[in-house]
Amino acid sequence: MSETGENRIGLASFVWLRSPAVSRHAGKVTMQEIEKYLKGDDVYCTVLAYVVRGGGMTTAREVPNVFGASRALPFELCDEAWPTSIDMTEFRIGSAPADFDERLVGALESVQREGPTLCWFMFDGAFDAGSIGSEWHRWNCYAVHAPSLSQPMLALSEADRRSEKWARIWTPLGVQLYAEYPGLRIVEGE
Alpha-carbon gap, residue 94 to 13, rounded angstroms: 29
Q: Return the SS3 of 154.
A: strand
What pLDDT sits at residue 124? 82
Per-residue pLDDT in tens (0 to 9) along the chain, 190 residues: 333 333 333 333 222 222 233 333 334 566 677 777 787 767 788 899 999 987 667 777 788 899 988 888 888 888 888 888 889 999 998 888 888 889 999 999 999 888 878 999 998 877 888 888 889 889 999 999 999 998 999 998 888 899 999 999 999 999 999 998 888 887 654 4
Bridge pairing between strands 119-122 and 86-93: unpaired
